[in-house]
Chain A
Amino acid sequence: MIYAPVLFVFIPIIIAIAVFLIKSPKAHYLVFLSQAALIVLFVLYALFLSANPDQNIIVFGGWDARFAISFYNDWLSLVFIGLTIFMWTVILLYTFKINYAQKKLFFFLMFLEGVFLGLIQTNDLFNMFVFLELTTVLVTILIVYRKGGEAFKAGLQYMLLNTVAAMFFLIGIILLYYVYGTINIRVIASEIALYSDYNIVKFAYVLMITGLCVKAALFPLFTWLPRAHGVAQASISALLSGLIVKAALYIFLRVNFDMFSNAYSMSEMFFWLGAISALVGVVIAMSQKDLKQILAYHTVSQVGIIMMGLAATGPIETLFTNPAAFGGLLHAVNHAVFKSLLFLAAGSIIRVYQTKKVYEIRGVFKTMPWTAIVLIVAMLSITGAPFFNGFISKSLIKYGFKQDALKMIVFTIVNLGTMISFVKFSQILFGPKQKLIVDRQYKQHFAMSLLAIASLVIGLAYYPIFKSLFALTWGGALYLDYLIYIEYIGYMALAVLIFHFVVKRDYLPFRLLRGSPISFLTANSIFVFSMIVIGLFVFL
């Protein structure tokens, strides 16, 4: 049972190669076989790990831990592994009917799952770099899969920007290797205090954090995310915004709080970095006309909110005791659930209506009732309505900085912006029934409703889940005090008002925001600029 993590990585990869090699399209059902095996394996491994928590490190090759590659699992990586397997099952259910004959798509998707599971568990910095590059190559091929003109442009920009970021991550690894003599995260974490005040370790820290800021699409460097989403298929953009962006945040947690154990106490700066990217993301999302662009810029702002939550963590163990940090982690999980639900629903709506413009789609509630219900569930949970999972994580994050007035204002503005942009998004629901051919996709409906049920379950039954899994006792009677309902309805009314008077008239600043995307060249100079800004914070 101790070698379960290796099976997590290699079951999807072997199935991917099997799908590719077997001629008949019948082989694609193997994909569900692998998902079932992964679910069973995950449950068994979670029980095994909770039974004897000390056997969570596997060293490959039996060499000294300092020189060999090793896998490390704790509660944090188990949460992400469970989320990955659940998300991949849903995505495969969704895309199975549409790309039935696409043998290559399943090959790339399953390979990406194996690599992603490896990326979560690896305990070796260079191995993490190899997995990052593999994820970049695979996601580029998946973005470019439909071979449209726009898809090639977005895929190329995604690959080049992320490769440069990963190379700077590699320079950081090199410098750390020469100072600590090893690339094993656990060993460096134990010896970090010896050299952490030398300049070269600070410089390595700056390079690694800048590389991660690009991959996590934080404030100045998020230009690649909206382009990649606009062109990719619904399922690919659901995966991209649901999980791949979270991988960068997961590595940020491992590198900043686990390995460097917050040696340079940068949590204040990370909070404000998250806050700015949340604000900027929401404002641009309000100005967009394209359905997928609204959701893409929304991912940037939600990642900012997660960073606001995660910035408060101390050492990794406190992730499960500090409410704000746990709120950030829970928001990452919730965001993966409801954002991918939004993308999948938007994908099926676009396929039926054959247009992406928000103003041209009307009457979704009557023509596609099932998708509309699921979309409403997702919209309520993203705006943080009570009884849904968005509300739990947002109130936990808010609990983190209860006393700081400025942070509360910023957080409420971001929530208001979220509500406004989703009022704009919800316009597509109203209106008469359109006579459009709606092909009955039962697999898709099942996949989307699976996600909706998940967000409801987390929203309603959060208390027993916290108590049993993580032994937390917060927010017992959250739903009893009526204040939260009034607060939500008040904000929603304010959002509708603002939408009608400000956003609908599409004033000049909104048109400007929509019209001026940042080119690849300026993105690189911004990359260098942000490296210097982070460097100033660390060195001074």
Chain B
Amino acid sequence: MPELALVLQMFLIIVAIAIVLHKSKFTIIILISAFSLIAATLYMMNQAPDVAIAEVAINAAIIPLIYVISISRQREFIVLDKIRHGFIDPNEKLTGEVYEALTAFTSKNNMKLNVCCDISGSEEVLTRDLNVDLILDKLPDSETYILKGRASNLLFARLKEDTKDIEHIKIELIEDGDALD
């Protein structure tokens, strides 16, 4: 019986090293669940059933779920589209060259473009609380599109370089009013 525990502990160390050295985040989540399952069996071998149930129930069930959601949230580039209020259909191809530029930009940084519409609220609330990365607007008379984003957002800075060549796009920066209190 104790030899199995030694083997499992060696296996645990290998999984821990794999987590530390690995790059892609999704495989790390699987490794983390494996890590906590092995750790739970080891607790069981140390005659600690309560700790094993707690470890499995929390670290192997709920925490990886939260990891998955937070990582998927971090690959989304949220664009608030104020121009067309029609229903956005995911598989319907987005027309217009602004959307091509956006889809090219998001695919370049391996992110998913998530266009949403008719959310009201001031820009400050939108960008700070609602995690909107880009507000797309169009002047009623002229053809130019207005792209609004936060000044401190590095993605928005990269987007500015990419869309330099397209002629009728105007970039506006939202200054993030740091709480000066």
| Chain A directly contacts chain B within the complex, with at least one CB pair under 8 Å | yes
Interface residues, chain A, CB within 8 Å of chain B? 98, 146-151, 231, 233-234, 347, 350-351, 354-356
Interface residues of B in 124-181 (CB under 8 A from A): 128-129, 150, 152, 176, 178-181
- What CA separation (Å) do A231 and B180 show in the bound complex? 8
Q: Report A-chain residues with C-beta under 8 Å of the C-beta of B129.
A: 147
The answer to whether B180 and A356 touch across the interface, beta carbons within 8 angstroms, is yes
Q: Report B-chain residues with C-beta under 8 Å of the C-beta of A356.
A: 180
Q: Report B-chain residues with C-beta under 8 Å of the C-beta of A354.
A: 180
A sample of 9 cross-chain residue pairs with beta-carbon separation below 8 angstroms, ordered by A number, consists of: A146-B181, A147-B129, A150-B178, A231-B179, A234-B181, A350-B180, A351-B180, A351-B181, A354-B180
- What CA separation (Å) do A452 and B128 show in the bound complex? 38
Interface residues of B in 96-137 (CB under 8 A from A): 128-129
The answer to whether B181 and A147 touch across the interface, beta carbons within 8 angstroms, is no
- What CA separation (Å) do A485 and B176 show in the bound complex? 49
Q: Report A-chain residues with C-beta under 8 Å of the C-beta of B152.
A: 149
The answer to whether B181 and A233 touch across the interface, beta carbons within 8 angstroms, is yes
- What CA separation (Å) do A151 and B152 show in the bound complex? 13
The answer to whether A350 and B181 touch across the interface, beta carbons within 8 angstroms, is yes
The answer to whether A146 and B176 touch across the interface, beta carbons within 8 angstroms, is no
Shortest CB-to-CB span from A93 to chain B, Å, is 16
Q: Report A-chain residues with C-beta under 8 Å of the C-beta of B176.
A: 148-149
In the complex, residue of chain B having the shortest beta-carbon distance to the beta carbon of A350: B180
**How many contacts A-B (CB < 8 Å)?**
28
Shortest CB-to-CB span from B129 to chain A, Å, is 7
The answer to whether A347 and B181 touch across the interface, beta carbons within 8 angstroms, is yes
Main secondary structure on B side of the interface with A: loop
In the complex, residue of chain B having the shortest beta-carbon distance to the beta carbon of A230: B178
Q: Report B-chain residues with C-beta under 8 Å of the C-beta of A149.
A: 150, 152, 176, 178
Main secondary structure on A side of the interface with B: helix
List 8 extra interface pairs beyond A98-B181, A231-B179, A354-B180, CB under 8 A. A146-B181, A148-B128, A148-B178, A149-B178, A150-B178, A231-B178, A234-B181, A347-B181
From A98, A148, A354, A356, name the one whose CB has the most chain B CB atoms within 10 angstroms.
A148
The answer to whether A151 and B180 touch across the interface, beta carbons within 8 angstroms, is no
- What CA separation (Å) do A76 and B176 show in the bound complex? 45
Shortest CB-to-CB span from B155 to chain A, Å, is 13
- What CA separation (Å) do A98 and B179 show in the bound complex? 13
Shortest CB-to-CB span from B84 to chain A, Å, is 30
A-contact bits for B52-91, CB 8 A (1 contact / 0 none): 0000000000000000000000000000000000000000
In the complex, residue of chain B having the shortest beta-carbon distance to the beta carbon of A235: B181
Q: Report A-chain residues with C-beta under 8 Å of the C-beta of B180.
A: 350-351, 354-356
In the complex, residue of chain A having the shortest beta-carbon distance to the beta carbon of B127: A149
In the complex, residue of chain B having the shortest beta-carbon distance to the beta carbon of A146: B179
- What CA separation (Å) do A158 and B152 show in the bound complex? 21
- What CA separation (Å) do A70 and B128 show in the bound complex? 45
Shortest CB-to-CB span from B52 to chain A, Å, is 18
Q: Report B-chain residues with C-beta under 8 Å of the C-beta of A355.
A: 180
Interface residues of B in 4-37 (CB under 8 A from A): none
- What CA separation (Å) do A147 and B178 show in the bound complex? 9
Shortest CB-to-CB span from B177 to chain A, Å, is 8
In the complex, residue of chain A having the shortest beta-carbon distance to the beta carbon of B176: A149
The answer to whether B181 and A148 touch across the interface, beta carbons within 8 angstroms, is no
- What CA separation (Å) do A48 and B179 show in the bound complex? 45
In the complex, residue of chain B having the shortest beta-carbon distance to the beta carbon of A145: B179
In the complex, residue of chain B having the shortest beta-carbon distance to the beta carbon of A348: B181
In the complex, residue of chain B having the shortest beta-carbon distance to the beta carbon of A233: B181
In the complex, residue of chain B having the shortest beta-carbon distance to the beta carbon of A95: B181
Q: Report B-chain residues with C-beta under 8 Å of the C-beta of A150.
A: 178
- What CA separation (Å) do A151 and B181 show in the bound complex? 12
Shortest CB-to-CB span from B125 to chain A, Å, is 10
8 A-B pairs closest in CB distance:
A146-B179, A148-B178, A233-B181, A148-B179, A149-B152, A351-B181, A350-B180, A354-B180
- What CA separation (Å) do A446 and B168 show in the bound complex? 57
From A149, A150, A355, A356, name the one whose CB has the most chain B CB atoms within 10 angstroms.
A149
- What CA separation (Å) do A98 and B178 show in the bound complex? 16
- What CA separation (Å) do A413 and B180 show in the bound complex? 33
Q: Report B-chain residues with C-beta under 8 Å of the C-beta of A350.
A: 180-181
- What CA separation (Å) do A351 and B179 show in the bound complex? 9
In the complex, residue of chain B having the shortest beta-carbon distance to the beta carbon of A149: B152
- What CA separation (Å) do A175 and B179 show in the bound complex? 45
Shortest CB-to-CB span from B123 to chain A, Å, is 15
Q: Report B-chain residues with C-beta under 8 Å of the C-beta of A234.
A: 181
In the complex, residue of chain B having the shortest beta-carbon distance to the beta carbon of A147: B128
- What CA separation (Å) do A430 and B141 show in the bound complex? 53
Q: Report B-chain residues with C-beta under 8 Å of the C-beta of A147.
A: 128-129
Q: Report B-chain residues with C-beta under 8 Å of the C-beta of A231.
A: 178-179
In the complex, residue of chain B having the shortest beta-carbon distance to the beta carbon of A356: B180
Q: Report A-chain residues with C-beta under 8 Å of the C-beta of B128.
A: 147-148
Shortest CB-to-CB span from B83 to chain A, Å, is 28
Shortest CB-to-CB span from B157 to chain A, Å, is 14
- What CA separation (Å) do A160 and B129 show in the bound complex? 23
Shortest CB-to-CB span from B149 to chain A, Å, is 13
Shortest CB-to-CB span from A436 to chain B, Å, is 13
- What CA separation (Å) do A525 and B56 show in the bound complex? 31
- What CA separation (Å) do A147 and B181 show in the bound complex? 13
Q: Report A-chain residues with C-beta under 8 Å of the C-beta of B150.
A: 149
Shortest CB-to-CB span from A430 to chain B, Å, is 22
Shortest CB-to-CB span from A155 to chain B, Å, is 13
In the complex, residue of chain B having the shortest beta-carbon distance to the beta carbon of A355: B180
- What CA separation (Å) do A147 and B176 show in the bound complex? 11
- What CA separation (Å) do A310 and B176 show in the bound complex? 44
Q: Report B-chain residues with C-beta under 8 Å of the C-beta of A351.
A: 180-181
Shortest CB-to-CB span from A150 to chain B, Å, is 6
- What CA separation (Å) do A356 and B170 show in the bound complex? 32
- What CA separation (Å) do A441 and B63 show in the bound complex? 46
- What CA separation (Å) do A98 and B152 show in the bound complex? 27
- What CA separation (Å) do A234 and B179 show in the bound complex? 11
- What CA separation (Å) do A147 and B150 show in the bound complex? 14
- What CA separation (Å) do A108 and B181 show in the bound complex? 18
Shortest CB-to-CB span from A240 to chain B, Å, is 14
